[in-house]
Amino acid sequence: MNFLVLGTPFLLFMLNYDWPVSYLIKLVGAVLILVGLIELKNDLKDQDKLKTLTVCYTIVCGASTAGTFVLRMIVDMGNKVEAVPLAAKLICLILWAAAVLVSVYIMDMLYKLLDKNRELLSDTVNLVKLGDTLKKLYFVTVFTYVSNLIYMLLPYRQTADFFAVLMIIGKIVLYVLIIISTVRFFRLRTDYYSHTADDEE
């Protein structure tokens, strides 16, 4: 479960939609989650579906990382935003939405998988707390993305700036929740290994 804990913050982290490093971070998270599932072998019931989805997501994230890097080489979207057609912006935003939402879905599946295997834990309090944190994290992720989307597409600068502030606030809250969820996941991991060691004795 060590790799699952490491993969959590990478998978849930969110930067600007047009940065190759954004996809690269999620790619690292997906690989770590995949390695963590392989490390657990068959300790968790019904983990094959999550493995398959994570493999697919890893491949897509790898392609997205390369594609975004090439796109930034062709047009520097950071300095020449006005030169980028609206259609290109929308495609990037849709791809980024997919990357973010699928990463959240993988995390949700992982939590539900652990919830189904409660017998592997000696104390389920950490699991319940993690679930509460993840619900808040999912809400803030959507809020931050929608604020980012409106900021990018609104033609009125003053209104757009308001949503930019909301996006920044959302990201700060998101990063705090990611840290909290990682700490709670680590406690869950400690509980899992403690319970496993007791069973072996």
Find how far residue 146's CA is from the centre of its chain: 16
Q: Does some domain include residue 107?
A: no
Compute the CA torsion angle 178, 45, 120, 189 (nearest 10 deg): -30
Q: How does pLDDT run across 98-150, given as a tens digit for each residue?
A: 888 888 888 888 888 888 877 877 777 888 888 899 999 999 988 988 888 78
Domain that includes residue 12, residue range: 1-98
Do residues 64 and 23 make contact, with C-beta atoms less than 8 angstroms apart? Answer: yes
Same structural domain for residues 121 and 201? yes
Same structural domain for residues 46 and 89? yes
Same structural domain for residues 71 and 42? yes
Structural domain count, the chain = 2
Closest CA to 177 of 111, 130, 125, 109: 130
Tell me which of 50, 72, 98 is where a domain ends: 98
Q: What is the pLDDT of residue 174?
A: 92
Q: What gap in Å lies between CA 97 and CA 105, rounded to an integer?
A: 12
Q: Does some domain include residue 198?
A: yes
Same structural domain for residues 90 and 138? no
Q: How does pLDDT run across 45-103, given as a tens digit for each residue?
A: 777 788 888 888 888 777 777 776 776 666 555 455 555 566 667 777 777 888 888 88
Q: What is the pLDDT of residue 76?
A: 58
Same structural domain for residues 47 and 90? yes
Tell me which of 45, 64, 98 is where a domain ends: 98
Q: Does some domain include residue 105?
A: no
Do residues 192 and 120 make contact, with C-beta atoms less than 8 angstroms apart? Answer: yes
Q: Does some domain include residue 109?
A: no
Same structural domain for residues 88 and 127? no
Q: Which residue has the tokens 């493999």?
A: 55
